[in-house]
């Protein structure tokens, strides 16, 4: 069993839809990261959070420490949001443990 579980694995949406990607982890962490990877492309760090909620443009990330759960929301989705979204956790050791990613496709 992976230490970091993401759901769904694949997600398709129509442009404009509200999207939620979930991430669960098994033990206490020092931080949780949300990353974005475009096909054949590099990795962009979207958020790093250890409590509460962060917002950047149309992206919102939340974390519930007690439930060991985080969500990434995309409001008013757009085809350019199509990418793989990866959740990663950090356990006081600096190295990241990654989920397997959620592949999002947004159609016009």
Partner 1 sequence: NAGVMQNPRHLVRRRGQEARLRCSPMKGHSHVYWYRQLPEEGLKFMVYLQKENIIDESGMPKERFSAEFPKEGPSILRIQQVVRGDSAAYFCASSQTTGFPYEQYFGPGTRLTVT
**Smaller CB separation from partner 1, 17 or 90:** 90
Among 19, 21, 25, 33, binds partner 1 (CB under 8 A): 33
Give the list of residues 6+ apart from residue 86 with CB closer than 8 angstroms, or none. Answer: 6, 34, 35, 36, 37, 43, 98, 99, 101, 102
Among 16, 41, 52, 79, binds partner 1 (CB under 8 A): 41
**Smaller CB separation from partner 1, 44 or 65:** 44
C-alpha–C-alpha distance, residues 9 and 31, integer Å: 22
Binding flag, residue 19, partner 1 (CB under 8 A):
no
**Smaller CB separation from partner 1, 47 or 77:** 47
Nearest to 74 by CA among 93, 41, 47: 47
């Amino acid at each position: 069993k992976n230490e970091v579980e993401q759901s769904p694995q694949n997600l398709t949406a129509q442009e404009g839809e509200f999207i939620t990607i979930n991430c669960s982890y098994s033990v206490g962490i020092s931080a949780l990261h949300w990353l974005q990877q475009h096909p054949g492309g590099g990795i962009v760090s979207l958020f790093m959070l250890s409590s509460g909620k962060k917002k950047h443009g149309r992206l919102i990330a939340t974390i519930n420490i007690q439930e060991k759960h985080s969500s990434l929301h995309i409001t008013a989705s757009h085809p350019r949001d199509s990418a793989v979204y990866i959740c990663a956790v950090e356990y006081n050791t600096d190295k990241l443990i990654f989920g397997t990613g959620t592949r999002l496709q947004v159609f016009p």
